[in-house]
Amino acid sequence: MNKAESYWRRHTVRAPHFWTRRGSLAYLDWRYLRYPLMREVMPPYGSASGVVLDYGCGPGNDLVGLAEYSTASEIIGVDVSLRALRLARRRLRLHPVAGGGRVRLMQGDGARIPLRDASVDHIWCEGVLHHVSNPIAVLHEFRRVLAPGGSVKLMVYNRNSVWRNLYVPYVLGCGDDLDEACRKSTDGKGCPIARFCSIRDVSEMVGVAGFDCDFMGSYFADVELRACRRHLFAAMRSPRIPPKCRRFLGEWTLDVRGYPMDAAGFYAGIGGVYVATAEDCAWADGREIVDRLYWPNAQAETSERSE
Ligand SMILES: C[S@@+](CC[C@H](N)C(=O)[O-])C[C@H]1O[C@@H](n2cnc3c(N)ncnc32)[C@H](O)[C@@H]1O
């Protein structure tokens, strides 16, 4: 087991204790308040039907949502962390609609998802792929377990976001290594991998696993909108942040709510949402893409050594 997976076996996302179904559902609503536009771009489960896999389900937020609000006949939660699965199991007990075997939980680390080929209709994967050591291996597994006509809904951290271009460099401070500061800023300082991906990065990654993909837009963390309200105009002129970020901020426009959009007209939130559908193309290994995206420093060292 590598560093990233063993980190997630020891740490899991914030999980309050719930005593009632009502409290558990209220938490889902609170989450939508905390992440503006999440409800719009990652809509609460409406279209998920048949067998749905929540990959990297954590302590079960989306499992609860899928059980309560989707027409899924079966919901399977997979996570590398037994602790997360235990928390999810406890929470799901509050929801009768999750009973009778409709929700199953299993441990898996992506190298092999413990499900049969073509046995799943939809995959839900929120906030996971940017943390795993080999996202393309996971995507190949998605392709294997997905039935014909199935789709994958993905959220990965957005490179063109307020988080990466304003909040981290201006509010938290990034020194001269923005990627490293971003890595430490999301899921604990010790989280080994937290990649911020562009639309092209994601299209390339899912492409080598045999998927087509559409960018659905992004949602914000509330802290991004606060940072924008307070600091956008000062940050644009500040030498504290990398020139690339300053240029990027200079291209933004704000909608009537004050939500920033990038030059392409996409909201600049941290949660980049994609829908991937299977296409008929030969699978590739994609190792070089993973290396470029996930281990750019290691790659630079290797090419320096070989010169
Ligand atoms: C940031 S959390 C997101 C949890 C959940 N999807 C949500 O949105 O609340 C990332 C989750 O991915 C899981 N994870 C990390 N690496 C994994 C891997 N290789 N295979 C399966 N799950 C993994 C972690 O244990 C953690 O629960």
Q: What is the CATH number of the domain that holds 77?
A: 3.40.50.150
Residue 255 lies in a domain: no
Residue 252 lies in a domain: no
Please tell me the predicted confidence (pLDDT) of residue 127.
97
CA 9 to ligand 1 center in whole angstroms: 9
The boundaries of the domain holding residue 200 are: 3-159+188-221+270-280
| Residue 111 burial (CB count, 10 A) | 14
Interstrand relation of 103-107 and 71-79 (parallel, antiparallel or unpaired): parallel
Q: Give the total number of structural domains in the chain.
A: 1
CA 135 to ligand 1 center in whole angstroms: 12
Which residues face 277 on adjacent strands? 151, 212
Please tell me the predicted confidence (pLDDT) of residue 175.
84
CA 167 to ligand 1 center in whole angstroms: 23
Using CA atoms, how far residue 3 sits from 8, 9, 10, 134, 192, in Å, is 9, 10, 11, 12, 7
Residue 65 lies in a domain: yes
CA 11 to ligand 1 center in whole angstroms: 10
- Which segments in the chain show pLDDT lower than 50? 281-283, 297-307
Please tell me the predicted confidence (pLDDT) of residue 286.
56
Are the C-beta atoms of 165 and 248 separated by less than 8 Å? yes
Please tell me the predicted confidence (pLDDT) of residue 1.
63
> Residues enclosing ligand 1, CB less than 6 A?
5, 8, 12-13, 56-58, 61-62, 79-81, 84, 108-110, 126-128, 131-132, 187
Question: What does pTM read for this prediction?
Answer: 0.91
Pocket test for ligand 1, best of 2, 79, 133 (most atoms within 8 A of CB): 79
Please tell me the predicted confidence (pLDDT) of residue 279.
64
